Amino acid sequence: MKCSAAMACVLIIAATSTASAADCKPFGGVGNGVTEGIAKFMADAAVKNIIENKGLKPTGEIKHSCKSAMLGSECSARQMGCK
């Protein structure tokens, strides 16, 4: 397989544009709601606000964990925040 100079440049740019693991930290938020969907929405908003307030950029997908609460559902959301 032969790579062109342009292909090598694209690979170098892609490798340098990703944040290193040292520049990233996991953050979490919790949300409650009458339905699981509302609880997830609230947890997502919480984790996004925390990351934004720290001056970081959200990276990767948000992972959820939900359970039944006294009134509806309680969900936690986790996402990486990077410089």
Give the model confidence (pLDDT) of 19-75 as tens digits: 566 699 999 999 999 999 999 999 999 999 999 999 999 999 999 999 999 889 999
Query: Whose CA is closest to 54, among 20, 83, 16?
Result: 83
Check if the beta carbon of residue 46 is closer than 8 Å to that of residue 29.
yes
Q: What average pLDDT does the segment 76-80 reach?
A: 97
Measured between alpha carbons, how far is 9 from 38 in angstroms, rounded to an integer? 44
Q: Which of 63, 67, 78, 74 is nearest to 33 (CA)?
A: 74
- Angle subtended at Cα 16 by Cα 51 and Cα 63, rounded to the nearest 5 degrees: 35
Q: Give the model's pLDDT for residue 48.
A: 96
pTM tops 0.75, yes or no = no
